[in-house]
Structure 1
Amino acid sequence: MAERKAWSDKSAEIMSRPGAGAAYEAARIRFELGETVRRRREELGLTQAELAERAGLEQPAVDRFEAGGTMPTIPMLERLAEALELRLSVQLQPLSRAG
């Protein structure tokens, strides 16, 4: 029977694979964007269907976005921001050596 690895060892093994860091970062961005949209939608008391209508989307697209399942385009972010009564601000920042 194979010896079980600790999660930290398994995680380090996975993250050492080529492209794993970029895939992890893309997933993090999708999750954070989706969480931000969901929180703002709830602050405004909107359902996913209502947000979808305001943004010119279908409700399943809003659901996937909030769950972190899609990487949005800038035009889609603009539509969501306007529907959520927000201004979209995109910034490029230097990478931190500590991160």
Structure 2
Amino acid sequence: MGAHKSWAELRAEALSHPGASGAYEAARIRFEVGEAVRERRRQLGLTQAELAEWAGLKQPAVARLEGGGTMPTIPVLERIAQALEVRLSVEFHPLREAG
């Protein structure tokens, strides 16, 4: 029987494949955007349906976004930001400083 690999080893192995790190980074961004939208929506006491209505979207689109299942465009993010009463900010960070 072979030794079991740790999660860190499995992750490093998976990310070593060509294109995997780009897909991982895209998934991380989708997750973080969705988490930020969900957190702010809850702070305001809004339902997904209410946010969708105010942002000119459908409720399933908000659910997909909050779940990290879609990468919204900047115009969609601007509409969501306005509905959430926040300012949209997009930043670039050098890779050596990125988390």
TM-score computed with the length of structure 1 as normaliser: 0.90
**How many residues are aligned here?**
98
The unaligned stretches of length 5 or more in structure 2 are none
Q: CA RMSD in A?
A: 1.7
Q: Return closer, same or farther for 1:19/1:58 CA change in 2, 3 Å cut-off.
A: same
Q: Which residue of 2 aligns with 1:5?
A: 4
Report what 1:45 is aligned to: 45
Compared with structure 1, are the counterparts of its residues 35 and 98 closer, same or farther at alpha carbon in structure 2 (3 Å cutoff)?
A: closer
Is 2:32 the counterpart of 1:29? no
Task: Give structure 1 stretches of 5+ with no counterpart.
Answer: none
Distance 1:39 1:98, change over 3 A: closer
Structure 1 residue 82: Cα displacement: 0.2
Identity value in percent: 66
The equivalent residue for 1:96 is 96
Q: Deviations over 1:58-77 (max 9, x none)?
A: 00000000000000100010
Amino acid at match of 2:4: K
Counterpart in the other structure of 2:68: 68
Supply the AA of the counterpart residue of 1:79: R
